[in-house]
Chains A and B, each alone.
Chain A
Amino acid sequence: MTTALPAVAIPGQRLGSIASYVAGPGTHVQNATIYASIAGPVVVGPVQPSSRTKSVLSVSRSIPRNAAPGANAPAKSTSAGKPKLRYNTLPAVDSVVLARVTRVQKRQATVSILVVLDESASSQPLNPSQTASDNDNIEAILSSAANPENHSSSDELRFQALIRKEDVRAVEKDRVVMDEMFRVGDIVRGTVISLGDQSFYYITTARNDLGVVMARSDAGNMMFPVSWKEMRDPVTGVAELRKVARPF
């Protein structure tokens, strides 16, 4: 039987059989039937004619703006010009996160994860009207994160992570001095390499595009990057050592 997929799913709504689809994010399977777990538009993944795998059925969290005229038809995902679909994000392995350094020790640095970036967050600027969760308002989080008064109150509610000495950069791992890489209060872009132990995720900055993205100098001014290891104060002109991320 060919049942039409609804455009908007409600939690508990029956979507289809596992003989026809594979359950993706936002759905769950019970008794050989796929049900929706969250409210949002139903997305059917593209069917690859070369392989015999079934298409992936998933429910995302936000409604695309241009899908409103075609509300009756089920939403088909196409790669060209599709608005970004959102799911509820926690830090997972290979997630790109923005974190603030809270403690620098000899062999590791403790950071507090502020934002979990999606894969397409680096390519497209975020539309503020389409924010679906508190992770999406990145400009507001970063502007409040750069304010030192907000550090102590919000850091204990964030997920904690560690950047070990071996994970700071890919070359000359044994010559890394942690004080020359990070300072307390810096905003760091990193990738989660492990879910870690009970308290900390493990984060690496060993790629060229990972590292410090925002930092304040000793004089308190916002610095700009000048090389892969230096940032400069625009007011005083003093250069400070950081493990700098490559800008977008």
Chain B
Amino acid sequence: MPLDTSTTYPLTKLRLDGRRWNELRLLQAQISTNPASSGSSYLAMGNTAILCSVHGPAEGRRGDATGGAAGSAGAVVEVDVNVAGFAGVDRKRRAGGSDKQSTRIASILRSAFQSHLHTHLYPHSTISIHVSVLSADGSLLAAAVNACTLALVDAGIPMPGLLCGCTAGMSGSASTPRDPNNDFLDPLLDLSLPEEQELPFLTVGTTTAVPVGEAAMVNEDEDEMKVAMLTMDSKVHCTYVETMLAVGIDGCKQIREILEGVIKKSARR
């Protein structure tokens, strides 16, 4: 590549788009964008733009072969991810939810929100989440998690906290053990698409943790976070995982403050 992060970052400590290692891309969000759905949101993290709409809790489809909603003790979360044909650099012909990337993002979102929401309040019901990716520029799973959280809050579905996602990576190939004397790699926050294709990264999602035991008495003001979602596909030595996790969790904290501002601004409107 003519310009890549692993060669230019050690010289200038700036990434390809001019950010430092711990800076998020511009996050713009809006809720109640679609009056036809129960809850809807639009979220843009940099050039990654996602529309999300939520329908439900509604009657589960009867007669469905895999229909667990009809007799289940809680609501069943269904996720449908649609990456538009014009979302990437090259136009894809079959724009639908049938490719491997959409199916994998949908299954991760379904398992994350199925265990996250208060589904026991809605027996025999289905909560349908529809995610449309308008533009894909890296951190697609993290942006989808944030958009789904905003849409579910707009729909009024109870949850114990906001589930926020973020990506974190390293500024070079991290496949060898970390050398404390010669540590030149830096963690990176909120990777864009060229960085994702080149560097190792992970996606982490955190939600509000409830202190247990004696921790409930101490640290009343400090909010602890629980890792609710974690995916990584890259080859990384284990000494770097903790650094990437810490940076990702801090990024989720920044995103949560931005999302809370969006919800409060919309609530006061």
Contacts and interface: CB of A to CB of B under 8 A. Distances in A.
Interface of A: 8, 10-12, 26, 28, 30-33, 35, 37-41, 61, 63, 68, 71, 87-88, 90, 132-134, 156-160, 198-199
17 contacts: A8-B264, A10-B260, A11-B153, A12-B159, A12-B161, A12-B162, A12-B207, A26-B158, A40-B267, A71-B268, A90-B125, A133-B155, A156-B59, A156-B61, A156-B62, A198-B71, A199-B62
B267 A63 contact: yes
Nearest to B57: A90
B268 A63 contact: yes
A71 B265 CA distance: 12
Interface stretch (B168-176, B177-185, B197-205, B210-218): B210-218
B241 interface: no
B160 A35 contact: yes
Of A63, A90, A159, chain B has the most CB atoms within 10 Å of the CB of: A90
Nearest to B150: A39
Of A10, A28, A30, A160, chain B has the most CB atoms within 10 Å of the CB of: A10
Size category of the B interface is 35 or more
A88 B59 contact: no
B44 to A, nearest CB: 21
Contacts of B260: 10
A117 to B, nearest CB: 17
Contact of B59 (A32, A35, A37, A159): A159
Contacts of A87: 156
A133 B38 CA distance: 6
Contacts of B236: none
A6 B87 CA distance: 40
A133 B62 CA distance: 24
A134 B38 contact: yes
A124 to B, nearest CB: 20
Nearest to A9: B267
B156 A132 contact: yes
B157 A38 contact: yes
Contact of A11 (B122, B124, B161, B212): B161
A151 to B, nearest CB: 16
A133 B156 contact: yes
A61 to B, nearest CB: 5
Of A12, A40, A68, A71, chain B has the most CB atoms within 10 Å of the CB of: A12
Interface in B35-91: 37-38, 57-59, 61-62, 70-71
